[in-house]
Chains A and B, each alone.
Chain A
Amino acid sequence: QSVLTQPPSVSAAPGQKVTISCSGSSSNIGNNYVSWYQQLPGTAPKVLIYETNKRPPGIPDRFSGSKSGTSATLGITGLQTGDEADYYCGTWDGSLSAEVFGGGTKLTVL
């Protein structure tokens, strides 16, 4: 089981909004930046959010990140069928001295 906890799946209709949660502890999310990655089938993960709430160039502002205490959230508005993918959160864990990830959330756009 993964150090960070994500829901296995979420779904919403096109045009709607969805949030994906990522729960951790004080040794990881509570004291470090969080990143979010999107993984399309057969491809490597791609960073969507870095330093908890920043978007790399080219990532639309439909994607947003936030954190409260030991939990982080990825928000996606204006859902499109092309957003169907697996989403992962990741951060550094100071107790483990290791990068850690969530188990991933499969987004279905109905």
Chain B
Amino acid sequence: QVQLQQSGPGLVKPSQTLSLTCVISGDSISSNSATWNWIRQSPSRGLEWLGRTYYRSKWYYDYAASVRSRITVNPDTSKNQFSLQLYSVTPDDTAVYYCARVEGPTTFDSWGQGTLVTVSS
């Protein structure tokens, strides 16, 4: 059974960087069949996919157009985890952030517990 455990601050100041980590148990970040994703949810935006990383003989990264200029998703094979960094945040980035795994075609079958991140001074 795959489990995803999120950690990171719940309050970030405007213009600063939002950083979250997702620790994986029960699977490998280097799996050749899974992708590792970040999704956020807010009343104004609903569920919004932000980006992913995955390994297929090398590392790949895909990002949503809405955040592409200010997002990084990074794998950490030594700790079997991956991270999200969202730069230059504004109050509009306030949301619950989830990490999630896709195993097989396009289904998020395992989710982290969610982290409410508030952007406020």
A-side residues, CB < 8 A to B, are: 2, 32-33, 35, 37, 43-47, 50-51, 56, 88, 90-92, 96-104
Contact = CB atoms under 8 A, between A and B. Distances in A.
Nearest to A97: B62
A102 B106 CA distance: 14
7 contacts: A47-B109, A50-B107, A50-B109, A98-B49, A98-B64, A99-B37, A101-B47
B106 A91 contact: yes
Interface stretch (B9-17, B26-34, B84-92, B110-118): B110-118
Interface in B63-116: 64-65, 98, 100, 104-109, 111-114
Contact of A92 (B65, B106, B112, B113): B106
A90 B114 CA distance: 18
Contacts of B64: 96, 98
A32 B64 CA distance: 18
B46 A44 contact: no
B107 A33 contact: yes
Contacts of A43: 114
B112 A44 contact: yes
A104 B47 contact: yes
Q: Most chain-A CB neighbours within 10 Å: which of B39, B65, B106, B108?
A: B106
A44 B98 contact: yes
A44 B114 contact: yes
Contacts of B48: 101
Contacts of B37: 99
